[in-house]
Amino acid sequence: MSKIFIISGPSGAGEDSIISGLRNKFSIERIITTTTRKMREGESQGEPYYFVTKEDFERKIEQDELAEWAQEYNANFYGVTKKELKRVMDCPRIGLWKIEYKGVMTAKKQFPEIKSIYIAPPSLEILRKRIKQRDPFITEEYLNARMEYTREWIKYEYIYDYKVINEEGKLNEAIEKVANIIEKNL
């Protein structure tokens, strides 16, 4: 059995909130993803991502330094280096790996022992509302592109070992369900 767990869901499903809540229950080490997306205000190198240029990321692909990677809806690359995965595997804490569904497919092929947990929104309408609340300046075009990506994501629910619906106003219940899955698989 692995002490690494994949937490995955479309943007706005609540993965980060669940991961944050799990910190109160477990000693956690988060696997840090490398990305080509621009750093946002309040972020820093290694928190929540390792930020690199597209050229650096492509070099990592060419030199087989990535355990998994994908290009997402926003045209940016996201992936986890083999070095980062080893760092978390070697530490005594529970590892949490937040990746999107394409990454889950790759990770499950390479590491079938890792359990994956799909965090699902209660509905697409609620997900749309959450995304708009989080970023009131989001354009309708960008929001529609994210929703289309989410519809694609939902087609791949079957690749996950577990599914937890993060119901509106019931975050603590979702955290508890995920914690129970982790405890059952340790």
Q: What is the pTM of this model?
A: 0.87
Question: With the C-alpha atoms ordered 87, 52, 70, 33, is the resulting torsion angle positive or negative?
Answer: positive
75 in the Ramachandran plot: left (φ > 0), alpha (ψ -120 to 50) or beta? left
Structure tokens at 10: 């479309």
Q: 67: helix, coil or strand?
A: strand
Largest distance between two CA atoms of the chain: 45
| Mean pLDDT, residues 154-168 taken together | 95
Task: List, for residues 12-68, the tens digit of each pLDDT value.
Answer: 899 989 999 999 999 999 999 999 999 988 889 998 899 999 999 999 999 999 998
What are residue 89's phi and psi, to 5 degrees?
A: -60, -35
More confident residue, 153 or 63: 63
Rounded CA-CA distance 184/164 in Å is 15
Residue 97: which pLDDT band, with cuts at 50, 70 and 90? very high
Task: List, for residues 125-149, the tens digit of each pLDDT value.
Answer: 998 998 888 888 888 998 898 898 8
The angle subtended at Cα 32 by Cα 107 and Cα 183, nearest 5°, is 65
| Mean pLDDT, residues 95-107 taken together | 90
What are residue 131's phi and psi, to 5 degrees?
A: -65, -40
Structure tokens at 129: 């509302």
Predicted local distance difference test score (pLDDT) of residue 130: 87
Beta-ladder partners of 117? 7, 162
- Residue 73 clears pLDDT 70, i.e. is over it: no
Across the chain, mean pLDDT equals 92
Structure tokens at 89: 């595997």
Q: 47: helix, coil or strand?
A: strand
Query: What domains, with CATH codes, occur in the chain?
Result: 4-185 (3.40.50.300)
* C-alpha radius of gyration, the chain, whole number: 16
| Mean pLDDT, residues 152-164 taken together | 94
